[in-house]
């Protein structure tokens, strides 16, 4: 395939190095970074030392970790999109009314990327996800909504990891495709125990590019009963967000 002369391959390699720090491990050595990026160790060493010199990585002995400066990149996007002035207060207000945290997410190829979360007192914490955290595309309600928005969901299902997270996780491509079709037809996703045991996830579309979701403990109620209570609140929140923010900034 001919190389695109408008693209800096060196810069792309540097971004791939930053992408290695995905939360699975706080510190990485050169050998692991080389393995994750597929680049040779000499190239990785130059890229890593450059990122250290620019303040994006810190070296401790033979390992490296991200520095807080990386947050400035995300902060610029969030501030330009009015997340602090518009999105966060709106999410917080609806989350207080609902009694459950609300998450705003977009699709980043084969994963779900969290871009905003409500903050309410006493909210339950499951795995401690934060802004920028990635969730699986196939086994979360947010992922199902984002798949339903895609032009070729079958291709994404075929390429995305189908490793089950619980005994209830769907792994058959046909079953996953049927779940995505159901999500598209009824306008919301309902995922019961496929990502977190005993947890029901409900999500709705936000325009054509994003999704809003909430998770509740399974308890003794039915998943459909939770959906009937939570979906209207999420849909109302999505409608207000669509009016108050530039959704194109999420693409």
> At 13, which CATH number?
1.10.10.10
Q: Which residue has the higher pLDDT, 212 or 26?
A: 212
Q: Are residues 194 and 142 in the same domain?
A: yes
Q: Are residues 56 and 177 in the same domain?
A: no
**Stretch 62-72: mean pLDDT:** 94
Q: Provide the pLDDT for residue 127.
A: 52
Name the pLDDT band for 220 (thresholds 50, 70, 90). Answer: low
Cα–Cα distance measured from residue 2 to residue 232, given in angstroms and rounded to the nearest whole number = 50
* pLDDT over threshold 60, residue 125: no
Name the pLDDT band for 91 (thresholds 50, 70, 90). Answer: very high
Q: Are residues 111 and 203 in the same domain?
A: yes
Q: Are residues 78 and 33 in the same domain?
A: no
- Name the residue range of residue 43's domain: 9-66
Let me know: does 29 contact 53? Beta carbons within 8 Å.
Answer: no
Q: What is the pTM of this model?
A: 0.86
Helices (H) and strands (E) in the chain, counts: 9, 9
* pLDDT over threshold 50, residue 71: yes
Q: Are residues 129 and 26 in the same domain?
A: no
User: Residue 31: enclosing H or E segment and its boundaries?
Assistant: helix 30-37
* pLDDT over threshold 70, residue 126: no
Q: Provide the pLDDT for residue 1.
A: 41
Tens digit of each residue's pLDDT (9 = 90 or more) over 175-205: 999 999 999 999 999 999 999 998 999 999 9
Q: Are residues 123 and 27 in the same domain?
A: no
Q: Are residues 95 and 50 in the same domain?
A: no
Q: Are residues 47 and 79 in the same domain?
A: no
* pLDDT over threshold 90, residue 5: no
Distance of CA 196 to the CA centre of its chain: 15
Query: Could you tell me if residue 188 is inside a domain?
Result: yes
Q: Are residues 181 and 233 in the same domain?
A: yes
Q: Provide the pLDDT for residue 122.
A: 63
Largest CA distance in the chain: 59
Q: Provide the pLDDT for residue 82.
A: 82
Angstrom distances, CA of residue 227 to CA of 97, 109, 202, 222: 16, 27, 6, 9
Q: Are residues 82 and 60 in the same domain?
A: no
**Of 66, 86, 113, which closes a domain?**
66
**Of 26, 43, 66, which closes a domain?**
66
Q: Name the one residue in this structure whose structure tokens are 């075929």.
A: 158
Pick the closest to residue 54 from 79, 18, 6, 8 (CA basis). 18
Let me know: does 141 contact 203? Beta carbons within 8 Å.
Answer: yes
Query: Could you tell me if residue 222 is inside a domain?
Result: yes
Query: Could you tell me if residue 210 is inside a domain?
Result: yes
Q: Are residues 41 and 115 in the same domain?
A: no
Domain count, the chain: 2
Q: Which residue has the higher pLDDT, 249 or 11?
A: 11
In the Cβ-directed half-sphere of 57, how many Cα atoms lie within 13 Å? 30
* pLDDT over threshold 60, residue 124: no
Q: Strand pairing partners for 64?
A: 28, 59
* pLDDT over threshold 70, residue 164: yes
Cα–Cα distance measured from residue 181 to residue 189, given in angstroms and rounded to the nearest whole number = 10
* pLDDT over threshold 90, residue 10: yes
Q: What are phi and psi of 78, to 5 degrees?
A: -70, -40
């Amino acid at each position: 395939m001919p190389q695109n002369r408008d693209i800096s391959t060196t810069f792309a390699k540097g971004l791939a190095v930053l992408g290695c720090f995905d939360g699975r491990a706080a510190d990485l050595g050169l050998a692991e970074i080389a393995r994750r990026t597929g680049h040779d160790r000499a190239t990785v060493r130059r890229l890593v030392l450059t990122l250290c010199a620019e303040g994006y990585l810190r070296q401790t002995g033979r390992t490296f970790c991200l520095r807080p400066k990386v947050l400035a990149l995300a902060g610029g996007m969030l501030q330009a999109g009015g997340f602090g002035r518009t999105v966060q207060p709106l999410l917080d207000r609806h989350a207080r009314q609902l009694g459950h945290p609300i998450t705003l997410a977009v699709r980043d190829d084969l994963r779900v990327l969290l871009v905003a979360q409500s903050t309410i007192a006493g909210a339950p914490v499951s795995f401690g996800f934060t802004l920028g955290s990635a969730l699986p595309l196939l086994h979360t309600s947010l992922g199902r909504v984002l798949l339903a928005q895609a032009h070729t969901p079958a291709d994404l299902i075929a390429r995305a990891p189908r490793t089950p997270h619980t005994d209830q996780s769907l792994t058959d491509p046909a079953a996953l495709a049927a779940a995505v079709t159901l999500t598209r037809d009824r306008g919301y996703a309902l995922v019961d125990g496929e990502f977190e045991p005993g947890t029901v996830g409900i999500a709705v579309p936000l325009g054509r590019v994003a999704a809003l979701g909430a998770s509740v403990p399974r308890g003794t109620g039915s998943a459909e009963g939770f959906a009937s209570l939570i979906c209207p609140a999420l849909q109302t929140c999505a409608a207000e967000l669509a009016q108050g923010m530039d959704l194109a900034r999420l693409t």
